[in-house]
Amino acid sequence: MRKRKLGKNGLEVSAIGLGCLGMTFGYGPAHDKKEMIAVIRAAVERGVTFFDTAEAYGPFTNEELVGEALAPFRGKVVIATKFGWKSDSSEKWTELDSRPEHIKQVAEASLKRLKIDAIDLFYQHRVDSNVPIEDVAGAVKDLIREGKVKHFGLCEAGAQTIRGAQGSRANIRSGGESLKTQCCQLSRSSGLDSFLLALWVRAFSQARSTKVRSSIARIIATSFPVLRRRLERRIRPSLII
């Protein structure tokens, strides 16, 4: 299995990772726990070292599954989990919450469910418009200093948010770089929007489902209006919403 280094602080993962969402949540009924543990461990045996989960998947049960399945491989795998949702009694959380105090509470709970001492990659599940990204990054910065988190990342963030997070983390000297925002290194150039657009266009070209392709097209059209014309040259205009 090929390896990839992400960011500037040596975070190395397998080129192919395993997202564990569908094992307990999201795509129909939860699967048999023993079978899913076997799947995760089989992935490790085949060279996969990067596993993705989140407190919102289940909720909570996915982290518990991943924690149990990967317990024998501590130090040999990278586990990514996420924060950013307000917990409630329903199965599907809908409200965002990236207040610094909540981020730290989520980290403590995730550490217990995953049965680890430090979260390899901790990233914001969705950008919370009610909390400045600088405050979010500052909270994770504290967790890195405390040894509870190694690397920080963002999910589905735009260029401006990425730049804000990057700027707020400029003074961190011990800890990691972000994963999904490794392109922060490009934030000093005007090409960041084009770079992010290229990632989405690639995802579009590789999607097999018309529904998925339509969803990706909507995201691109919403997030990159200035570059929408470039997209229209590559895909059918009927898919641009």
Residues recognised as catalytic: 57
Nearest to 217 by CA among 205, 154, 226: 205
- 10 Å CB burial of residue 68 (0-12, 13-18, 19+) is middle
Residue type at position 175: G
Task: State how far the Cα of 23 lies from the Cα of 150, in Å rounded to an integer.
Answer: 25
Task: State the pairing for strand pair 3-6/149-154.
Answer: unpaired
CA distance 29 to 24: 7
CA distance 104 to 166: 20
- Residue 4 in tokens: 């990839």
Q: What does the DSSP assignment read for 152-185? A: EEESS--HHHHHHHHHHTTT--SS---STTGGGG
> How far apart are the C-alpha atoms of 132 and 142, rounded to whole Å?
16
Please list the residues that pair with 154 across neighbouring strands: 124
Q: How far is CA 22 from CA 36, 54, 152, 191, 237, in A?
A: 10, 11, 24, 34, 32
DSSP 125: S
